Structure 1
Amino acid sequence: MTTTSGDRPHTMRGVYLPGDSTAVVRDLDVPEPGPGQLLLKVGASGICGSDIGFIYHEHKTHRGIDGPAYRGVVAGHEPSGTVVRSGPGCRKFGTGDRVIVYHIAGCGVCDNCRRGFMISCTGAQRAAYGWQRDGGHAQYLLADEATCVPLPDALTHVDGALIACGFGTAYEGLRRIGVNGDGDLLVVGLGPVGLAAGMIGRGMGAARVIGVEPSAQRREWAAGLDVFDTLAGPDEAADAIAAATGGRGAATAIDCSGSRPGRTTVLDNAAEWGRVSLVGEGGTLETEVSDTLLHKQLTLYASWVTSLPTMAELATNLVRWGLSPQKVVSDRFGLADADAAYRLAAGVSRGKVVLVDEDDR
């Protein structure tokens, strides 16, 4: 499937994160795909909270990764784009195919990789896009074909970028707790992942979707998405959840806040025999055990990102459900404005912030 470069330029722009709360745009060479690799023209690349927390402000070791996490590469681990050239040995994708990129390239042979969970790869070759290898904050991206899944025609590149991380993370967490029409879904923390959880929960058939978020601005943004039946701040959460569920609490609940108060809210307001998913990074979990956990017969699930097959399944399901992830995007920026995009994402953004190809803006 090797193609010619045609009019493709030899240089491009890419975004780097020096670790001092800035984003810097640099010129670099357009890479050539080797065996099993695809060269993508990036259509969209999301800004993730983990990029901000572990790279943007200061370079720190990411949880689960030994040694320095960010190695001075092009940032961005939420890419989606179109294949412009494929290297030798590629068998699934060729020029013109639209793809979503799973953001970890694993060793391919450990048990986790064989299950599709490259996020938990135990091989020394494990490399995350935007962390240990060049990521999606550029005009072009060199991706392993094995990390790509098809982007359905009904979805945009922005949709694909959101599926690559945040929506995939939310979907995996909701699958673990079996969200369905038999009960209500409680979502705590309405950042991009929480908004994704609410939207996917609606697609999975939750009877009611209840959101809890301390930021009034984010609650206002969430209210306009036609996803949540009830929205509340932390202080009124217990009363609002009780009113929405007839005093039973939520049959399924997911914490996307990564905070101790958020996790407490999830556990306290889960129904008897409830199923609780924890996907928010960071923070601690402290709880009274007997009344909160044991006597309510709760089941807790901890979930980190998702698998490659499940990400592909989500893309198909979103089309079937008639849902578009880009609905949660509040702000779009071109690469030239990456610094402003990161400042907004690290500050007071209402919803998701993405970098997009200038032609798609």
Structure 2
Amino acid sequence: MTSTPSRMRGVFLPGDSTAELREYDVPRPGHGQVLVEIGASGICGSDIGFIYRGYKGYRGVDGPAYRGVIAGHEPSGRIVAAGPGVRRFGPGDRVIVYHIVGCGLCDNCRRGHYISCGYGRESYGWQRDGGHAPYLLAEERTCVPLPDELSYVDGALIACGFGTAYEGLRRAGVSGDADLLVVGLGPVGLAAGMIGRGMGARKVIGVETAEARRAWAATAGVFDAVLPAGDDAAEEVADLTGRGGAAVTIDCSGTRPGRSLALEAAAEWGHVSLVGEGGDLHTEVSDTLLHKQLTIHASWVTSLPAMSELARNLVGWGLRPEKVVSDAFGFERAGEAYALAAGASKGKVVLVPGEAS
């Protein structure tokens, strides 16, 4: 580790809608650990709602609280040092860091779903130092190969938002015979649109309340139509598909109206995927659910194998997640980056070492 400094500055979130830079020691990898030089680190909506704005527990109520560590759970970078016992990865390898560390022994962990570990799950940026600093100490078992064709920004987006969208669409069975409706065109919704296009959806339709986000989504080149939310949205989706609705719908808004639209605009025998956090679900049961014979999928992030699969698929599809990034900042401007991500950002906001703006 002679080439790495002994000290670094990382981003700390005090919980009062600000972001601070603090001094930290550069860690040294122990058994089974690697030191990752960060290439990019994304800002996630869950960090905004549950840490940046001061809600100290997951979902703002209970669960594992933020422990005052370096923020950021969407890291990607290059390994610069490896501890004893590291076998698959080594210095020079480019990696995505799966943002949860699980026990590795329970059934969920053995399936690669560290997010659902019930025995001491910890998240980078929540309970252990995250990616908003020049270096990150990571467990080797949480590293996923980053293909050479993808950038570090691509990798950071795959680490959470794109992985979340991919899992929701995999479970819902997107294919070339299915029209896809994406409700909510924030970063995860943009990811869903891009992945849906890659998976071969016949038509990809987006619905969003904010005009600026609709305009940004239209530049992604993956949506056949981008509609404003409103009372006529479900009927417009039915007209656009010519099949009475979309065979697959995914709600990325996490709102009651968004989820209702995802159900109402689904075609008969359709599949509805819910990935947006928070809020509640309210629906009429008979006509909306039973009589249309809908299947509802609830999905929370993705697994390690699926994240690796997604990275390879994106290369094969010729798609680059970084296209949904509207703003990039250096670590020293983390306060501006978080304020934008928590306010009127059009697309995804990321932190990139050395980025000027």
Using the size of structure 1 for normalisation, the TM-score is: 0.97
1:301 paired to 2:301: no
Q: 1:65 to 1:84 in 2, by over 3 A?
A: farther
Indicate if the aligned counterparts of 2:268 and 2:294 stay in contact, CA closer than 8 A: yes
Partner of 2:194: 199
Structure 2 residue corresponding to 1:141, chosen from 130, 136, 143: 136
Partner of 1:93: 89
Distance apart, 1:240 and its partner CA: 2.2
Structure 1: state its 5+ residue gaps.
Answer: none
1:150 paired to 2:145: yes
Indicate if the aligned counterparts of 2:330 and 2:356 stay in contact, CA closer than 8 A: no
SS of the aligned residue for 1:171 comes to helix
- Alignment of structure 1 residues 1-361 onto 2, 5 Å: 5-63=1-59, 67-124=63-120, 126-235=121-230, 236-358=232-354
Distance apart, 1:300 and its partner CA: 0.3
Indicate if the aligned counterparts of 2:28 and 2:137 stay in contact, CA closer than 8 A: yes
Letter aligned with residue 150 of structure 1: P
Per-residue deviation, residues 188-214 of structure 1 (Å, max 9, x unmatched): 000000000000000000000000000
SS of the aligned residue for 1:82 comes to strand
Distance apart, 1:353 and its partner CA: 0.1
Per-residue deviation, residues 51-92 of structure 1 (Å, max 9, x unmatched): 000000003211499545100000000000100000000001
Letter aligned with residue 13 of structure 2: L
Instruction: Report the Cα distance in structure 2 between the residues aligned to 1:203 and 1:217, rounded to whole angstroms.
Output: 24
Per-residue deviation, residues 83-113 of structure 1 (Å, max 9, x unmatched): 0000000001111100000000001111110
Indicate if the aligned counterparts of 2:50 and 2:60 stay in contact, CA closer than 8 A: no
Letter aligned with residue 233 of structure 1: P
Letter aligned with residue 152 of structure 1: P
Letter aligned with residue 52 of structure 1: I
SS of the aligned residue for 2:273 comes to strand
Per-residue deviation, residues 144-191 of structure 1 (Å, max 9, x unmatched): 000001000000000000000000000000000110010200000000
Pairwise CA RMSD of aligned residues? 1.3
Q: 1:181 to 1:346 in 2, by over 3 A?
A: same
Instruction: Report the Cα distance in structure 2 between the residues aligned to 1:308 and 1:360, rounded to whole angstroms.
Output: 33
Letter aligned with residue 334 of structure 1: G
Report how many aligned residue pairs link the two structures: 356
Letter aligned with residue 206 of structure 1: A
Q: Quick one: percent identity of the two aligned structures?
A: 70
Indicate if the aligned counterparts of 1:59 and 1:68 stay in contact, CA closer than 8 A: no
Using the size of structure 2 for normalisation, the TM-score is: 0.98
Per-residue deviation, residues 286-342 of structure 1 (Å, max 9, x unmatched): 100000000000000000000000000000000000000000000000000000000
Structure 2: state its 5+ residue gaps.
Answer: none
SS of the aligned residue for 1:358 comes to coil
Instruction: Report the Cα distance in structure 1 between the residues aligned to 2:356 and 2:87, rounded to whole angstroms.
Output: 28
Instruction: Report the Cα distance in structure 1 between the residues aligned to 2:29 and 2:61, rounded to whole angstroms.
Output: 27
Letter aligned with residue 36 of structure 1: G
Distance apart, 1:6 and its partner CA: 2.8
Distance apart, 1:346 and its partner CA: 0.1
Distance apart, 1:234 and its partner CA: 1.1
Distance apart, 1:8 and its partner CA: 1.2
Instruction: Report the Cα distance in structure 1 between the residues aligned to 2:92 and 2:78, rounded to whole angstroms.
Output: 6
Instruction: Report the Cα distance in structure 1 between the residues aligned to 2:261 and 2:62, rounded to whole angstroms.
Output: 32
SS of the aligned residue for 2:51 comes to helix
Q: 1:52 to 1:27 in 2, by over 3 A?
A: same
Distance apart, 1:246 and its partner CA: 1.3
Per-residue deviation, residues 254-303 of structure 1 (Å, max 9, x unmatched): 00000000000000000000000000000110100000000000000000
Instruction: Report the Cα distance in structure 2 between the residues aligned to 1:258 and 1:110, rounded to whole angstroms.
Output: 29
